A and B are shown apart, each in its own frame.
Chain A
Amino acid sequence: MTSSLTAPDTPPTSETVDTDRSEARASRKASTIELKGLKKHFGADTIALDGVDLVIEPGEFFTLLGPSGCGKTTLLRILAGLETPDDGRLVLGGKDITDIPPHRRSVNTVFQSYALFPHLSVRENLAFGLRMRGVAEPERDSRVDEIAAFIQLGSLIDRRVDQLSGGQRQRIALARALVCEPEVLLLDEPLSALDAGLRSQLQVELLRVQQRLGMTFVFVTHDQQEAMVMSDRIAVLDGGIIQQVGPPREVYERPANAFVARFMGHDNLYPIKERNGDRLVTDLGALSCPAQAGGDLLLIRPETLDLIPGEQPGDNRLFATVNECLYRGSHAEYRLDVGTTTMQATVRNRGGSLPTVGDRVTVIVSSDDLVSLNA
């Protein structure tokens, strides 16, 4: 069997990288995953999944995002076969795998604790999956060497597992799963144990690996920033139910409900008290908001607001007093008293004057960026 990973002796020029990538995409059998009405409960009253329907496309970087206890890890474990759903089907590449045990699924997992075997060397850890599937030793060795070169493990491959740092273990765990060339790679918060610097470095590396291999990645995280950086699409989960599925921009800019909005970090949510055609009335005052469907909450993203000094009347303008100002260098974050309530505004530091605490300001609201949503 010829493997599609970069050959270790190929010099990494841009040309060869491109051919390798197309080869990788061609030969890898990325498959569609269909989840149909998956349900799972633990004990009498813990509902982990309450009817999940989802289609994950081949070659997609798909993220399950949500707070702890939302069901995202249970969903991943069902994909791996480590948990059996109470109800619903799981279809991989057109084949129902709901009842197939984990050791017969072409799915591999990168575990949060890495789960490297302490009794084996790094090389033996990498070869474990191939060995269990009965791949002969010469091919096993060459595939392990290939993946080691691809992930740039260098001399780590001859170390013992207990001599590795957290970041190194993470990369070995990734390589150990990749070398099996699964149809889907599952990643269970693989970066959560690492410090911030290493984390963003490995985010870039993961993304690069996924793009070059064209493999389907299902990634679990509770960090919305990480989800937005990495994903083609995000599914936001809460209470065992999918709240929204979509590309990062859609989930962030057009959240489907209040939970998604708050989880994506939005605080400016105001109950809509009255609707007069295009005009919505909230505690902030009246704002015109064309082309909005129903919904009883108004979301105003802080970074879409402009602040100008003094009171300058106009359409979709609010008068406010600066209550608090956090200077962040590239931008400043404001808390403003508006009407009977408060709102957040983020202003880019373009070098001009910035309002200070106690200033009276006019807030310019762009009606295109207003979103009304359900509570």
Chain B
Amino acid sequence: MRKRTLQRSLTGFWWLTLFFLYVPLLVVVVFSFNAANSAASFTGVSLRWYRRLLGNEQILSAFANSMILAIVSSIVALVIGCLIGYGMYRHRHRKLGWLIALIYLPIVLPDIVFGISEMAFFVQINRLTGVLGPGLLTMIISHVTFQIPFVALIVYSRFVGLDPTLFEAAKDLYATPWQRARFFMLPTIKPALISAFFLSFTLSIDDFVISFFTAGPESATLPIYIWGAIKKGVSPEINAIATLMIGAVAIAAVLSLMFNRQGRR
């Protein structure tokens, strides 16, 4: 009898969790199609807010910034993170505890601390040398920094999952160091790399805090634009942007999961 009560309350919690997770998203999605001006009532289905988005220069430029930032930072993080992941695998028998802790630090560090330190750092550099003024470049560098640990971790765990004899088999079958990278390692970890790319992409699109502290006047991303727009009141346009972002991030996350799973088969 008690067991049944427990089970029922657990089921209740499950639905409650789902409710608080997805109903707010659903509200945003539904109201993005609202014909009315206010969020008070839903008067009819319309695409007017999406059309308005296309006419808004600021939003389009924020969207472009977001995409450039996400794609460029993900590619750079992929290259560096992949090398770090391989290095960690190659030297896994040595005691690398503190070094690995350093690499993983950005994962556990609060975004706000990370963002403020990046900003202070870039301000100092800019003051001393005149380069690296706030803008897309500083944002890309910051994003790469927090994306690297995720890429390195995914690549490392893929290598650890491989039979170590495969590396020896490649050597034994006449592959030179370059050929081993080109014909054995890269194709073998390809699913992990694709997965890591989409994860980095999602992290970059999602990020507000770090972008906010490192952005310049011309380099507002979508989250920064939304934050600024909301200070003037919630416009139904924001719902439309949010809906598009939910869609993009969901697709990237699903792709990331899919390729990660394929790599582990």
Contact = CB atoms under 8 A, between A and B. Distances in A.
Nearest to A173: B169
Contacts of B174: 103-104, 129, 132-133, 180
Nearest to B167: A115
B179 interface: yes
Contacts of B170: 117, 128
Given A113-B163, A131-B183, A119 B172 contact: no
A108 B168 CA distance: 11
B169 A115 contact: yes
Given A119-B190, A162-B265, A102 B172 contact: yes
Contacts of B87: none
A307 B190 CA distance: 69
B165 A117 contact: no
A121 to B, nearest CB: 12
Of B163, B169, B179, B190, most A-chain CB atoms within 10 Å: B169
Q: Name the prevailing secondary structure of the B interface residues.
A: helix
A301 to B, nearest CB: 39
Given A115-B165, A132-B179, A109 B188 contact: no
Interface in A95-134: 101-104, 107-109, 111-113, 115-120, 128-129, 131-133
Contacts of B173: 103, 108, 128-129, 132, 176, 180
Interface residues of B, number: 20
B171 interface: yes
B160 to A, nearest CB: 14
B188 A118 contact: yes
Contacts of B190: 119
B176 A103 contact: yes
B168 A115 contact: yes
Given A115-B165, A117-B166, A118-B188, A108 B172 contact: yes
Interface residues of A, number: 28
Interface string B172-196: 1111100100011001101000000
A177 B187 CA distance: 21
A179 to B, nearest CB: 10
B171 A102 contact: yes
A119 B171 contact: no
B171 A103 contact: yes
Given A133-B174, A162-B265, A180-B174, A117 B169 contact: yes
Interface string A123-160: 00000110111000000000000000000000000000
Interface in B111-164: 162-163
B175 A103 contact: yes
A81 B187 CA distance: 25
A33 interface: no
A220 interface: no
B249 to A, nearest CB: 29
A308 interface: no
A92 interface: no
Contacts of B265: 162
A80 interface: yes
A143 to B, nearest CB: 14
A82 B187 CA distance: 23
A176 B170 CA distance: 11
Contact of B172 (A80, A116, A131, A133): A80
Interface of A: 80-82, 101-104, 107-109, 111-113, 115-120, 128-129, 131-133, 162, 176-177, 180
Given A118-B166, A132-B174, 19 more contacts: A81-B171, A102-B168, A103-B175, A103-B176, A107-B172, A108-B173, A109-B168, A111-B165, A111-B168, A112-B165, A113-B163, A116-B169, A117-B170, A117-B188, A118-B162, A118-B188, A128-B170, A128-B183, A129-B174
